Amino acid sequence: MSLKQTLVSRDDSQQPEINEKTIAAAVTGEESPDTLVRKKRAIPKKRQDVLKWNGWGYKDSGFVYRDGDLLFSGDRYPLGNLILPYFTNWVRDRLGGNFALKVESIEEPDDTTFPEANVTSELISKIEEIGVTYSVQGGDRLFRSHGHTLHDIFTLRTGNFPRIPDLVVWPESHNHVVAVVNLAQTLGVVLIPYGGGTSVSGALSVPENERRTVVSLDMSQMNRILWVDEANLICCAEAGIIGQDLEGQLRTLGFTTGHEPDSYEFSSLGGWVATRASGMKKNTYGNIEDLLVHVKMVTPRGTVEKHCKVPRISAGPDIHHFVLGSEGSLGVITEVVLKIRPLPICKRYGSVVFPDFASGVSAMREVAKERCQPASIRLMDNEQFKFGHSLRAPVGFLGNLSSAAKQFYLTKFKGLDLNQICVATLLFEGQKHEVNVQEQRIYGIAAKFGGMPGGDSNGERGYILTFVIAYIRDIALDYNIVAESFETSVPWSHTFNLCENVKLRVINECRARGIRHHFITCRVTQTYDVGACVYFYFAFNYAGMSDPVRVFEEIETTARDEILANRGSISHHHGIGKLRAKWVPHTMSQTGVGALLHIKRAVDPDNIFGNGNILSSPETMVQPQQSQEDSFMHSKL
Amino acid sequence: MGSISAPPNIPAPMFQDILSARRRSNDFRWASRPYNPSTYFVRGRAKEPKELVASVLQCARVQAVVREIAVKEGRDSRDVAKQAEQILAEMAHDYHLYTVRWFGYVLSKLAKNHFSSIFVNVQKLQQIKDCFQRYPVILLPTHRSYVDFLLLSYVCFTFDLPLPIIAAGMDFMGMMGIAELLRKAGAFFIRRRFGADSLYWALISEYVKRAVLSGCHPMEMFVEGTRSRSGKSLYPKIGLLTSIAELVRDREIPDVLILPISMSYDRTLEETLYARELLGQPKPKESTNGLIKGLRWLQSQSYGSMYVNFGEFISVRETLGECLASPYVDDAIFTKRIQKLGLNVVIEQQKNLVTPLFSVVATIVLAKMSEGERSIGFPKLMNQIHGFRALITPNGSDFGLPLTGETLEWNVRHILTIHSDLVVCPKNEEHIVHFQMGEDETVDGMKFQHYANQFVPLIVPNALLSVLTNSATISDNAQRSTSEESILKDYAFLRELLFDDFIYDRGNEMLEASKASSIFNVYLNKGRSNGHTSRWTTETEEMSKILRLSIEPFLIAYWGVAKTLAQLSIQEDQTESQIVEVKLLGKMSQSYIRQLLGSHFPNHYGALSLDTLNNASMAFIKLGVVTKIKLDSGNSFGMVVKDSQRFAQLIILIENYLPLRSRSKLNAVSSSSVQDFQDLSQLLQLKAKL
Ligand SMILES: Cc1cc2nc3c(=O)[nH]c(=O)nc-3n(C[C@H](O)[C@H](O)[C@H](O)COP(=O)(O)OP(=O)(O)OC[C@H]3O[C@@H](n4cnc5c(N)ncnc54)[C@H](O)[C@@H]3O)c2cc1C
């Protein structure tokens, strides 16, 4: 790989990279620094070989209903191959699940059934000239036409997307990307970067009435760690690398980025930057914007990057901040330099039981005020506590007894109401003595608000289940239940009320629509000085309803309105995509929208990155005094 | 006439008489039955009254006010906190199921003795139960009697609905024992006037908020602020509603639902007290003794039926609308929305009131009385009742008929016996209805007015049209245009002028007027097609006259206040001591009008109502011809004419519509017309748009 070919002129900052490359060679165990060989990756180029074409995650993993009970198949996850009678009952009771009525997904479409790809032979021959691999096969294109919103998955299971990409290309280096972007600019082709495909904002879907050729730029082959710089504790990786590969490789060197979004098995480094992702352990390691030291983004007008990799810089508005959260609408993120940390010596789980949600939130607030957050602290409401509790395998006679005894202890001796209690799960990381101190402080604060330690296994379960929970929606859809999550950030003063109000509003919107079985729950997943991140799960049984997704979206819209009325934000980490574009003007002011439009115009005047994210809503289009040119711009966005 | 009358089975089948079940089974067993109220909203864990009080004392706002006062008054903040605690102790409600049961028992007994039925609209119950689960609900009943809140709780108890917490006036605190009894049945007490007492305001407002969110009971309050003595809706007070709306504005809750409730009585318990009060005669203070005396007297009386009807739920969130879109809500817009909310509630209450049958009788009687008559033939009375009914049913209103299943005529006869202290049909001449007049004719007139006032709001459009067409025909001003357009303009003017007396949904005046006249036309044509043209003509003429007469007392009152004020303000630059206090102005106007009744005007005793006289003052302020001036002496204010020329025009304008027996003697100013007053009506139209 030759850095000299990039469009940006180089200064002396390229000097250290020679050394870094040597380190990179060590990382990958490769002799020649110039031909870095790819390690075995978790996800192959043909994703549908390993991943579900119409659902979440690995093909071999997921919930299935068998012989009267639900169980989790495969052995990738801790819940693997366990029968879950409590969960089965929970689905029946709480969501009116009827396992006698299965709603089958349509068959995986045959490659011949897709609309003809709108590609010219000129495009293909130019692509071949550049030397990137490509595919026009329907299955490949379909896989990259969506993310993981309810709408996406429901559509996959029941029919077609109105528009899918025409072509998939797999660039393997920064230079490939530069060449593809230049080509797209020349031929007037639309490019949509595709990272891990875990988007939950509609960011990946192709604008329905896009008439130009649409090319999905699958980043998965740009998956190398290019170098590790131990002196400064940073590493440089290509943007297509997915979380589990990045962490797996760093771990062998004794490092971690500490960035663990719940989707990190599948989501990519570039995707994180493009969506301003947030990891579970941000308290110790920071969110992506804190971790990011340097980034390259290829735009139709050249590559955007800084000339140095420094801890901080005062050089006008930070250009990183229009790369972060750009959602593929400005260019392709190709290489990212991230902070790394030595692996923690000690890792411990914990949990606290609170008498009710209000006291739990107060305790979280106090922890934030004292700035003594452990790596992760999450507060689940009562519904989620009960739900999580149902996701357990039946144990032996004694095991049951002990949990009954525990319930008795909780409810009788401590006077707690099982329908009010809520649980905070904790993850501590660091030196052993640090962890001890942290534990003490947390349990001390918790006690002030009536919280008491609930044991480490409760905590651990909470975190392990995180990855399994993402599989639930598929089985839910099998039995007439639609589900989705949404999130927000909110100041402390409004955190408790926001949680309660949004749940109440959703419940009442369901009632008003005659929905009998509905489930809405929330947890406070992150704490900050100013406020918190709140994450909601919402599901309902749609038996007898003709258009459940539309109803779901309607209710989700009222929920977002409620969130905003409660001083919450449009999103803490999921991003805007197309789903939340209508609230953008309210979020950042018309002037702010105008400024963003001008950045867009500066780096991508022909709207090559035409995925329509962020600024696509009609509201952003309505600007009172706009020139002809402006409206021309808008029509392209 | 038979062809016009509606089917006699009214109240409609959706009304159920809850007393009839009481007459069939044992009251004690009923009152002590297992009472499992339907689910009611609660935020978090339900809080006992004591916990609510504690949370009010701890809340940031109250603590801040306590500190503020301590600093301002140089007191120890613990001392102020103590004071806050005492205020709350005086204020807070309590709940004891046995008290509720006791009330249930006693009220059953009393009701069965003195009332024939309690009609409740049961069609709405399911919806009410649903809403009770969704969001906090505020019950906003009309307030025309102390019986109101007992009745509403009784209805809730009967239908296994959660009982309300009731915002009650302090009047009860004077009644030893009673106040504590009411407190234990869920009443909390608010001082009448606490003006700028910031501590009191913080406490009551927070108390209401905490109770709404976590009290686990719906809250009942009275938008009208006090019992309506006049029998008409009062202009809404928005104090407590503001606290409720703040809950939604500040997003302590996504929504609060408001349920307007309309309660009416064939006969109002307080009719005599009210009449005296409105005439300005001293009112006996509420006391337990007085109450017992009252109860004893009540023994001998029969009060007909009570009617409870529920309106449509109003969402506070929807009412506040886009003023919630931004986190920074403009206070002025916020207040405006709440005022609008208050008016909407009153309008909804009016819409759903079951009109007491006697109210139409009283309207007809007052018309006769104003012309000095002392009786009316029963058949004629019936004809006119049928006629009026034809005017109100197209708008969805109707009379409450206490004898379900009986004819209208039977019901009228029944209602006359209920009001035997006001009207009688002697055994020997059943076809004549005599008006009973006591020693003070004005008191009796005012009693009739109390009932008529429950009917007149329904016929105001027709009444105003009748006034306008009449004045147009008798006007001696040849140039005066009688075009439809000008009549509609005048109509809108009068409607706005009388707004506080007859609250209505502003902005649809034209539509309302044309609808009213088309209803009247339908009524005319129906009669005509029946033959008897000449008889019919006299009947309809009489109807128009009654319509006109029904509104005249109000016009006289407004005119009287204006005249009095004009006379008082002749001297330029009044000093403060000469500025007349608004209540006093009412009294002065009252005695001025009293002199003219019978001589210059017909005997419209309704014009003496202090309530209406006060409304007149408010109307002049709203029109901008008079200004309010705060007086040194406490809370009250005085009135000063701002623009004497326009004020004079206004007087002449009202005069045009008056039934003056000798116009020339009263003033020599040339007659004016609305055209001269155009700027004012433009102003009014502007107002209507707002
Ligand atoms: C089960 C589940 C759990 C999740 N948990 C979290 C979580 O804990 N925290 C969190 O932050 N998010 C979470 N997400 C959301 C999602 O995983 C993140 O938004 C993630 O950052 C997306 O990365 P990706 O690689 O999958 O990007 P994609 O979904 O492929 O793309 C997302 C957007 O980024 C653009 N993009 C992707 N790669 C590039 C690139 N190289 N250059 C330019 N643009 C690019 C795309 O065009 C698209 O607009 C979760 C999603 C799911 C389904």
Sequence-ordered list of residues with C-beta below 8 angstroms from that of A2, at least 6 positions apart, any chain: A34, A175
At A584, which amino acid appears?
V
Q: What ipTM was estimated for this complex?
A: 0.83
CB B356 within 8 A of CB B306: no
Q: Strands of B626-630's sheet, edge to edge?
A: B580-581, B637-641, B626-630
Q: Please tell me the pTM assigned to this model.
A: 0.88
Radius of gyration of chain A (CA): 25
Choose, out of A555, A566, A569, A587, the residue to mutate when testing the contact with B (most B CBs < 10 Å): A566
CB B353 within 8 A of CB B512: no
Query: Dihedral of CA B216/B222/B225/B229: which sign?
Result: negative
Give the CA distances from residue A102 to residues A65, A455, B9, in Å, rounded to whole numbers and listed in that order. 10, 38, 54
CB A42 within 8 A of CB A252: no
d(CA B460, CA A337) in angstroms, rounded, equals: 79
How many other C-beta atoms can be found within 10 angstroms of the C-beta atom of residue A383?
Answer: 19
Ordered DSSP codes for A68-97:
TEEEEESSSSTTTTEEEHHHHHHHHHHH--
Tokens at residue A529, please?
A: 């000085």
d(CA B678, CA A228) in angstroms, rounded, equals: 85
Burial of B114 (0-12, 13-18, 19+ CB in 10 A): middle
Residue numbers in A near B252 (CB within 8 A):
497
Q: How far is the CA of A453 from the centre of ligand 1 (A)?
A: 35
At B370, which amino acid appears?
S
Residue position matching structure tokens 């901080």: A312
CB B91 within 8 A of CB B207: yes
d(CA B532, CA B536) in angstroms, rounded, equals: 6
DSSP E strands, B102-207: 117-121, 137-141, 165-169, 187-190
Q: How far is the CA of A279 from the centre of ligand 1 (A)?
A: 12
Q: Is the CB of A213 under 6 A from ligand 1?
A: no
Give the CA distances from residue A246 to residues A176, A235, A311, B155, B646, in Å, rounded to whole numbers and listed in that order. 21, 10, 22, 69, 84
Q: Residues A533-565, buried b or exposed e (16+ Cβ, 10 A)?
A: bbbbbbbbbbbebeebbebbeebbebbbbbbbb
How many other C-beta atoms can be found within 10 angstroms of the C-beta atom of residue B673?
Answer: 18
Domains of chain A: 114-221 (3.30.43.10), 225-342 (3.30.465.10), 346-469 (3.30.70.3450), 581-636 (no CATH)
Active-site position among A285, A349, A535, A542: A535
Backbone angles phi, psi at A332, to 5 degrees: -110, 125
Nearest CB among A357, A494, A511 relative to B134 is that of A511
At B271, which amino acid appears?
E
The pLDDT, as a whole number, for residue B45 is 81
Sequence-ordered list of residues with C-beta below 8 angstroms from that of A212, at least 6 positions apart, any chain: A188, A189, A190, A610
Backbone angles phi, psi at A417, to 5 degrees: -100, 120
B505: left (phi over 0), alpha (psi -120 to 50) or beta: beta
Interface of B with A (CB under 8 A): 43-45, 130, 133-135, 251-255, 324-325, 327
Strand partners, B187: B166
Hey, whose CA ends up nearest to atom 9 of ligand 1? A261
How many helices and strands in chain B, by DSSP H and E? 28, 17
Site to substitute for ligand 1 among A259, A263, A269, most atoms within 8 A of C-beta? A263
Closest CA relative to residue A535, chosen from A303, A377, A334, A379: A379
The pLDDT, as a whole number, for residue A323 is 97
* Residues of chain B predicted below pLDDT 70: 1-13, 172-174, 283-300, 322-328, 472-482, 527-532, 570-578, 632-635, 661-690
Query: Dihedral of CA B545/B551/B555/B560: which sign?
Result: positive
Which DSSP helix (H) or strand (E) runs through B57?
helix B49-58
At B500, which amino acid appears?
D
Residue numbers in A near B134 (CB within 8 A):
508, 511
Instruction: Give the 3-state secondary structure of residue A57.
Output: coil
Domains of chain B: 45-267+302-352 (3.40.1130), 355-489+504-540 (no CATH), 546-681 (1.20.120)
Considering all CA atoms of chain A, what is the largest pairwise distance in Å, rounded to the nearest integer? 77
d(CA B313, CA B137) in angstroms, rounded, equals: 9
Tokens at residue B309, please?
A: 């009807």
Q: How far is the CA of A588 from the centre of ligand 1 (A)?
A: 22
Nearest CB among A356, A508, A565 relative to B251 is that of A565
Sequence-ordered list of residues with C-beta below 8 angstroms from that of A610, at least 6 positions apart, any chain: A190, A192, A207, A210, A212, A214, A636, A637
How high is the mean pLDDT in each 10-residue block of chain A (637 residues)? Answer: 32 38 42 45 90 96 93 88 90 94 92 90 96 95 97 95 96 97 97 98 95 97 97 98 96 96 97 98 97 98 96 95 97 98 95 94 98 97 91 60 58 74 94 95 96 87 88 95 97 97 96 95 98 98 93 96 94 96 90 94 96 75 41 37
First-residue to last-residue Cα distance in chain A: 34
Question: Does the distance separating the beta carbons of B325 and A508 come in below 8 Å?
Answer: no
d(CA B355, CA B454) in angstroms, rounded, equals: 7
The pLDDT, as a whole number, for residue A610 is 95
CB A257 within 8 A of CB A339: yes
d(CA A172, CA A335) in angstroms, rounded, equals: 12
Q: Strands of A346-354's sheet, edge to edge?
A: A452-453, A346-354, A422-430, A376-380, A518-527, A531-541, A481-491
A81: left (phi over 0), alpha (psi -120 to 50) or beta: left
Question: Does the distance separating the beta carbons of B130 and A565 come in below 8 Å?
Answer: no
Which DSSP helix (H) or strand (E) runs through A267?
none
Closest CA relative to residue A326, chosen from A298, A294, A306, A362: A298
Instruction: Give the 3-state secondary structure of residue A289.
Output: helix
Output the 3-class SS for A338-369.
EECEECCCEEEEEEEEECCHHHHHHHHHHHHH
Q: Is the CB of A43 under 6 A from ligand 1?
A: no
CB A271 within 8 A of CB A196: yes
d(CA B393, CA A159) in angstroms, rounded, equals: 55
A147: left (phi over 0), alpha (psi -120 to 50) or beta: beta
The pLDDT, as a whole number, for residue B616 is 96
Looking at the complex, does the CB of residue A588 fall below 8 Å from at least one CB of chain B?
no
Strand partners, A236: A227, A337
Chain center to CA of A490: 19
How does pLDDT run across B548-567, given as a tens digit for each residue? Answer: 999 999 999 999 999 999 88
The pLDDT, as a whole number, for residue B665 is 46
The pLDDT, as a whole number, for residue B6 is 41
CB A354 within 8 A of CB A424: yes
Strand partners, A338: A235, A292
Shortest-distance atom of ligand 1 to CA A272: 21
Q: Is the peptide bond before B426 cis (omega within 30 degrees of 0)?
A: no
Nearest CA in chain A to B131: A508
Instruction: Give the 3-state secondary structure of residue A334.
Output: strand
Instruction: Give the 3-state secondary structure of residue B670.
Output: coil
Instruction: Give the 3-state secondary structure of residue A484.
Output: strand
CB B381 within 8 A of CB B432: no
